[in-house]
Amino acid sequence: MSERTVFWRDVIERQGRSGWSVVDFCRREGVSTASFYNWRRRLREAGGRSGKGDPRGRTAFVPVSVQAGTQDVRGDGSVTACIEIVLPGEVTIRVNDGASRETLVDVLAAVREASA
């Protein structure tokens, strides 16, 4: 792996952890915003990934608990099965039983986008 690739992977990873916007981070680091976006795209494509996330292509695993049952997801006493995703900060996402695969993919992409 080239030194430039290692450099840009580090820069992109640090920006992701920084909480700064890409523009502000690049300004503070003295690197070109255009180069940042170019390298981020190149590293994603090289890793076969299209979404935001770890530029090294690692997958983050989190604890999961599977519980059988039903939930009152509407708050009106009606009960239906669902997928419930509980995130840090007391954020809960519920996807009703029967939701399309595309809906679940969209929900997970939104979660990933928000956490990036």
pLDDT tens for 71-90 read: 665 667 666 667 777 777 77
- Residue 100 structure tokens: 């399309």
Predicted TM-score of the model (pTM): 0.43
Buried b (16+ CB within 10 A) or exposed e, 76-114: eeeeeebeebeeeeeeeeebeeeeeeeeeeebeeeeeee
- Residue 17 structure tokens: 């952890």
Which of left, alpha, beta for 77 (phi over 0: left; psi -120 to 50: alpha)?
left
pLDDT at 50 over 50: no
pLDDT interval class at 27 (50, 70, 90): very high
Q: Where are the chain's structural domains?
A: 3-46, 62-116
pLDDT at 105 over 90: no
pLDDT at 8 over 50: yes
- Matching residue, tokens 């890793």: 47
